[in-house]
Amino acid sequence: MKIIVTGAYGPSQEFDPLREAGHEIALGRPVDQPARRPYTEEELVEWCRDAHVIMVSHLDTISRAVLEHAEQLRLVVVPFVGTDKIDVSAATELGIIVANSPAPQHFLGIAEATIGLMLALLKRIKHNEAKLRRGEWAQRIDRGSLVAGKTIGFVGLGRVAMQVARRLQGWEARLLAADPYVAPEKARPLGITLVALPALLAESDVVSLHMTLTPKTRGMIGDKELRSMKRTALLINTARGELVDEDALCQAIQENRIAGVALDAYEEEPLPMDSRLRALDPERAILTPHNVGHSEAGRLANLKLAVEATLNALRGEVPKHAVNPQAVALWRQRFGGTKVGGMRPS
């Protein structure tokens, strides 16, 4: 059967398990090419017509049109976590399974990076390094802040935020979270208090975003929310760029309505050269190219899950990490699958 990989993150040999199982692999433009552009919808419609599986890079979008024209398509899988560039609703209607690859190494990497960004801002590392490189030395006004005694607020209390909270145990910080889908019993063992979003924004010294992108969460941190934060507060986003109104954020930084920001995700990626974010004071705004939590161990673990999902689907088994289990009944009617690959869909 035919597997289309719209963009490989590593060498072609990493897909040998699929070839050894007798499947045809079609590799698209490597993701790491400097000028690599996303495939257009028209290109994907034509290329994916005879695909049985599409493994999607983070740059490419799988629309309803692509799905409708791929009449043999069983699975769309991503070798990472986010599926927001796939029309999951359309896939469900068509009986196509969508799966992600939530390897533990992925969540650990982002959790570690979140704490690293938090410390870089609180300790004013970029400010003090710049001062030293100018030939200057430290003064009292250059000192940073302690984590101890701070209030750290998680907007979204999923796997990444829980890992951040675990790593902050013993740091003597107050932990808050806003997440309407989490029960207090889940948060309590880590000393996390669940509150409404307005209270979290008003009380937190560090606000860290950990939501998935949905129509409800798109743009949820805008001018109103930024104005409700402390002037000394810091904002960290290692989740999705579209969660934040970037124009409102730039205005808040420039008007000193919040103290600093660290971003690893943006409304448009790669970040345009004319983005207002690039003009922010670099000592108060840390900008990284959506890779700060990535590691080679995480990439390989994610790819392994994506390959396993592909092999499962082509054997007629429901992949373990299906994000649209509502599609399974129609999927089984179309392809005759009966088993679940390893565990129930999650």
The CATH number that applies at residue 266 is: 3.40.50.720
Residue type, 64: R
Q: Please give the Cα distance from 220 to 244 (Å, whole number).
A: 6
Domain for residue 143, yes or no?
yes
Mean pLDDT for the stretch of residues 325-334: 97
Tell me, what's the pLDDT at 339?
A: 52
Tell me, what's the pLDDT at 32?
A: 85
Residue 33 pLDDT level (bands cut at 50, 70, 90)? confident
> Are residue 210 and residue 158 in the same domain, yes or no?
yes
pTM: 0.89
Mean pLDDT for the stretch of residues 58-65: 96
**What tokens were used for 173?**
């910080």
pLDDT tens sequence across 248-286: 999 999 999 999 999 999 999 889 999 999 999 999 999
Q: Please give the Cα distance from 165 to 293 (Å, whole number).
A: 16
> Are residue 72 and residue 218 in the same domain, yes or no?
no
SS3 letters across 2-41: EEEECCCCCCHHHHHHHHHCCCEEEECCCCCCCCCCCCCH
SS3 content of the chain, % helix, strand, coil (to 5): 40, 15, 45
Q: Please give the Cα distance from 117 to 292 (Å, whole number).
A: 9
Domain for residue 346, yes or no?
no
The yes-or-no verdict on residue 165 having pLDDT over 70 is: yes
The yes-or-no verdict on residue 209 having pLDDT over 50 is: yes
Residue 166 pLDDT level (bands cut at 50, 70, 90)? very high
> Are residue 119 and residue 76 in the same domain, yes or no?
no
Mean pLDDT for the stretch of residues 199-212: 97
> Are residue 117 and residue 193 in the same domain, yes or no?
yes
Least reliable range by pLDDT among 139-143, 180-184, 213-217, 336-340:
336-340
Q: Please give the Cα distance from 8 to 73 (Å, whole number).
A: 20
The yes-or-no verdict on residue 342 having pLDDT over 60 is: no
212 by DSSP, 3-state: which? coil
Residue 34 pLDDT level (bands cut at 50, 70, 90)? confident
Residue 346 pLDDT level (bands cut at 50, 70, 90)? very low
Domain for residue 304, yes or no?
yes
What percent of the chain is predicted at pLDDT more than 70?
Answer: 97
What is the count of structural domains for the chain?
2
Mean pLDDT for the stretch of residues 318-328: 97
Tell me, what's the pLDDT at 336?
A: 84
Look at residues 28, 27, 26 and name the one whose alpha carbon lies nearest to residue 40. 28
Residues known to be catalytic? 240, 269, 290
> Are residue 149 and residue 39 in the same domain, yes or no?
no
Domain for residue 345, yes or no?
no
Domain for residue 81, yes or no?
yes
Boundaries of domain holding 90: 2-103+295-340
C-alpha distances (whole Å) from 76 to each of 66, 99, 143, 236 are 11, 6, 50, 30
Task: Report the chain's mean pLDDT, rounded to a whole number.
Answer: 95
Tell me, what's the pLDDT at 345?
A: 33
Residue 337 pLDDT level (bands cut at 50, 70, 90)? low
Longest alpha-carbon distance in the chain: 71
Tell me, what's the pLDDT at 35?
A: 81
Residue 289 pLDDT level (bands cut at 50, 70, 90)? very high
Domain for residue 63, yes or no?
yes
**What tokens were used for 35?**
């000028």
> Are residue 213 and residue 281 in the same domain, yes or no?
yes
pLDDT tens sequence across 86-125: 999 999 999 999 999 999 999 999 999 999 999 999 999 9
Domain for residue 27, yes or no?
yes
Look at residues 291, 281, 208 and name the one whose alpha carbon lies nearest to residue 9. 291
> Are residue 193 and residue 278 in the same domain, yes or no?
yes
Residue 41 pLDDT level (bands cut at 50, 70, 90)? very high
8 Å CB contact between 258 and 252: yes
Domain for residue 316, yes or no?
yes
C-alpha distances (whole Å) from 282 to each of 62, 95, 268, 286 are 35, 48, 20, 6
> Are residue 331 and residue 318 in the same domain, yes or no?
yes
The yes-or-no verdict on residue 343 having pLDDT over 50 is: no
> Are residue 14 and residue 128 in the same domain, yes or no?
no
> Are residue 179 and residue 96 in the same domain, yes or no?
no
> Are residue 96 and residue 161 in the same domain, yes or no?
no
> Are residue 218 and residue 260 in the same domain, yes or no?
yes
